[in-house]
A and B are shown apart, each in its own frame.
Chain A
Amino acid sequence: MDTSNRAKQEYDQMVKKASPNSPIFTNCVKAFFSGGLICGFGQLLLDYFSKTNSEDDAALMLSVTLIAISAVLTGFGLYEKMGKQCGAGTIVPITGFANSVVSPAIEFKKEGLIFGTGAKMFILAGPVIVYGTLTSMIVGIIYYFIGR
């Protein structure tokens, strides 16, 4: 087998030709509507909670409710079925974040509470938390010097 750089480049082209692409258009449409539905549902909840609570409390109760629903759906194996169809629609909202924490927690349960669930719970969400915090710090510093 010729493994020269030229052969590798040629092969790369062959692979691109032979590999079917994900159906990006239908994926986008599905994600748009499913994500919109989740957010619309969130808005209904927010309106409901706002009736009897302060704005901050209502927002917190909304997040907790969506996370709880997502966690339960993940536990019953339903979120993965939704995710297969909805893609980014179920990944981007806060429900996707909850799914990414609960699914490794379940998967690594067999390795025990410490080295399994505890250690592995954030293998997917960890980077989001780390870089989310880092970004907010940087934005905060910029705001401190030039934003005020």
Chain B
Amino acid sequence: MGAKKIGKQTVRLNEGVRIMSVASTVSKKESEGPLGKYFDKIIEDSMFGEKSWELAESHFIRENMELVVQKAGLKMKDMDYLLCGDLLNQCTASTFGTVDFQIPFFGLYGACSTMGESMSLGAMLIDGGFANYTLVGASSHFCGAEKQFRAPLSLGNQRPPTATWTVTGDGAAVLAKKGNFPCIMEITTGKIVDMGITDANNMGAAMAPAAVDVLVNHFKDTGRTPQDYDVIATGDLGEVGRSLVVALMKKEGYTMDGRYTDCGIEIFDKNAQDTHSGGSGCACSAVTFCAYFYPKLMNGEIGRMLFIPTGALHSPTSSQQGQNIPGIAHAVVIEGCGEKEARK
């Protein structure tokens, strides 16, 4: 077992890896939601002046990544590695969005858990001494995702109440070795969990067991309980998935109280914005973390947070062939600036 590994699935970073800066760029719909005022950049035209939804997503990525590096006071060439991903086939949104950066690139696919995956690996690269700065992020686009996974936008069909709404945007962070910033302390990498869900309109139910699995293992590995955190936030389970997590965790003997929320619930007003169960997509957890939680970690309002982006690992082909929808979730422990001061 590795020297930094604790328990079955968790690693503890030596001195923690700093989240030096974050940036979030979203479209009009997200800006009209409850978190509207927190985002860095709002792009009214979801086509972003491009010819296709796919290129629009790449544009979101490019602008947001340039912004996050600029906010860190660094240059793109200072980044040792870039780790990011999206929902499009073969992660082409990330490819075409970052091709001009010319920095070593790991393309990731963790479906909507990608922000957790990129933060985990980006932090491990730094903690392992392989990099000084890593650029991590995740993106999604409502229109591109609908086109690939569901139905054409102008088709006159009805969405069931369990459906979620893919967030359009990009969330990105610069991770660094030093500095007085919120710190990634532990990482619990999730396993693929398949509980037999086949309804592609109920992603919350497909992913909730994976979130529970990583939560339970995280608590076992670290010896902590939910009450050791100020905020626990899953990625995009929505109302349905959140209620399932609470119920499943209760069966496992853990109480998920008011400190547990879901980014998909935070980002939209489901009644006013007609988003049904909540927000989803890689960008859901990515932009909610960057825009909403990071500032609270920075100013000490949140001492310690458990951030768990969740993903559904299916493709249109696997679903059409009748395969289940397995879920995955990655947990990242982030301690705020206040927490660090308190421990000194």
Contact = CB atoms under 8 A, between A and B. Distances in A.
Whether chains A and B associate is yes
Contact of B152 (A8, A11, A103): A103
A54 interface: no
Nearest to B191: A1
A49 to B, nearest CB: 25
Interface in A30-79: 74-75, 77, 79
Given A7-B195, A20-B161, A124-B151, A15 B202 contact: yes
B205 A106 contact: no
A19 B201 CA distance: 11
B161 A99 contact: no
B162 A19 contact: yes
Interface in A87-134: 87, 90-91, 96, 99-100, 102-104, 106-108, 110, 124
Contacts of A77: 153-154
A19 B147 contact: no
Contact of A103 (B155, B193, B202): B155
Most chain-A Cβ atoms within 10 A of its Cβ — which of B52, B159, B195?
A: B195
Interface stretch (B75-83, B113-121, B209-217): B209-217
Interface residues of B, number: 33
Given A3-B194, A8-B196, A90 B156 contact: yes
A7 B195 CA distance: 8
Contacts of B160: 22
A83 B205 contact: no
Interface residues of A, number: 38
A137 interface: no
A104 B195 CA distance: 33
B98 to A, nearest CB: 21
B103 interface: no
Nearest to A70: B156
Nearest to A99: B156
Contact of A11 (B54, B156, B195, B213): B195
A102 B212 contact: no
A100 B196 contact: no
B154 A20 contact: no
A86 B156 CA distance: 9
A71 to B, nearest CB: 10
Contacts of A1: 193, 195, 209-210, 212-213, 216
B92 interface: no
Given A1-B193, A3-B195, A19-B161, A110 B52 contact: yes
B196 A11 contact: yes
A1 B161 CA distance: 27
A3 B193 contact: yes
Nearest to A16: B205
Contacts of B194: 3
Nearest to A87: B158
A91 B195 contact: no
Given A19-B205, A20-B162, A84 B195 contact: no
A85 B54 CA distance: 29
B51 to A, nearest CB: 6
Given A18-B247, A27-B158, 12 more contacts: A1-B209, A14-B247, A18-B243, A18-B244, A19-B162, A79-B156, A80-B153, A83-B156, A103-B154, A107-B147, A124-B152, A124-B155
9 nearest interchain CB pairs?
A: A83-B156, A107-B152, A103-B152, A1-B213, A103-B154, A20-B161, A103-B155, A110-B52, A8-B196
8 contacts: A1-B193, A1-B209, A15-B240, A22-B161, A82-B156, A99-B154, A103-B153, A107-B153
